[in-house]
Amino acid sequence: MSKNVVVVGAQWGDEGKGKIVDWLTESVQGVVRFNGGHNAGHTLVINGKKTILRLIPSGIMHPHVKCYIGNGAVVSPQALLAELDELERHGVDAEDRIFVSGHCPLILPYHVALDHAREASLGDRKIGTTGRGIGPAYEDKVARRAIHVNDLLDPELFAEKVRRNCELINFMLVNYYKAEPVNSEEIIENILKLAPRIVNKICDVSCTLNEAMAKGDQFLFEGAQGTMLDIDHGTYPFVTSSNTVAGSAASGAGVGPQKLNYVLGITKVYCTRVGEGPFPTELFDEVGETLRTRGNEVGAVTGRPRRCGWFDGAALRRSVEWNGLSGLAVMKLDVLDGLETVRLGVGYEYKGQKLDVMPVGADALYQCTPIYEDFPGWTESTFGVTRWEDLPENARRYLNRLSEVAGCPIAVISTGPDRSQTILMHNPFN
């Protein structure tokens, strides 16, 4: 009987999902991306060699595995093909192992133009998007004017839809945002040049996955961004434009939820956030800078420095609830090595009350003050440790309390960026 695992970011993204998906891919026949676009950066380090993936699932580094982009994701033709070319330059033949749902909405240049114009108009109230057109593409999907991958099969229909959408987009760009209009004919010409390579990858992802599962094949479902950026549940309006929680794996890939057997939440032993929005445990001192430097906390896609802070247990407890997490993969333990004191957020003070879980929405979270428990640090190095018993006693104590506060068992501990630098407490596929 097949077993399928969903991997989601349990914080604000950038938790290290790429490494864990790559590491678990040895147990599956396929990896499925079910939300987001090329605004997500997944960094893999294999035998010391770094590869950054954005839209293509992290399992692509395994030559036996097929990778699928489900209908819940949005696809930039230029970004997808550029990423395939980049993989080829790294010696990874991925061209015939990538399959794309025909019902994925396309991200087109006018989405990017609108994204930039909107952020510029917001000034100090900007959301902090990556500027890659993700939000406007999802807006078109909800407004029922999206252009899908399948539309590339009919050039005349594709051109007609682009012209119609550009009329609306240009009206907003010129008259509201006072920005330059886009050239619809140029967009049509450039995208149709790429179309033959894209349409070769069109696949009925839902049907393919369900048939393969019936034969006993196992799959990983890879989420993008993090739980706290979910459009419905996150720190709204400082969120992404898709559902990032585990439940969206079912709708974003076209499989029944009963076929998703285990949900693994990825979390760092501290917190980071990119872009704007509330961050209760954020540090502005030397410790925050130490976390940023040691953890190499720079956005894989944007290159922006990440905001860093202590671990937030109240936020993670919410993540456990929203995702129905079966287990945690705790990342970057080695970054805390050598700190005299390690702090762990266990709740908030909010309007004179104590909260054990993160409140919903940005406005309430801005008013929360974290409640901490302090733990003695450890001087021993945890880098590359592969057995629980070999971790320093203080590190084990901290991790046990982290699990207790979150209300979820630890399945995996990462002690370095490489595949091999991992402690397995429980295999999600067992």
Of 239, 213, 235, residue with least CA distance to 224? 239
The label of the residue with tokens 């025909």 reads 102
* 316: Cβ contacts below 8 Å, ≥ 6 apart: 10, 11, 265, 267, 405, 406, 408
Q: Is 14 a catalytic residue?
A: yes
- Per the CB < 8 A criterion, the answer to whether 360 and 372 are in contact is no
Q: Is 285 a catalytic residue?
A: no
Q: Tell me which of 38, 42, 111, 148 is the catalytic residue.
A: 42
Annotated catalytic residues are 14, 42
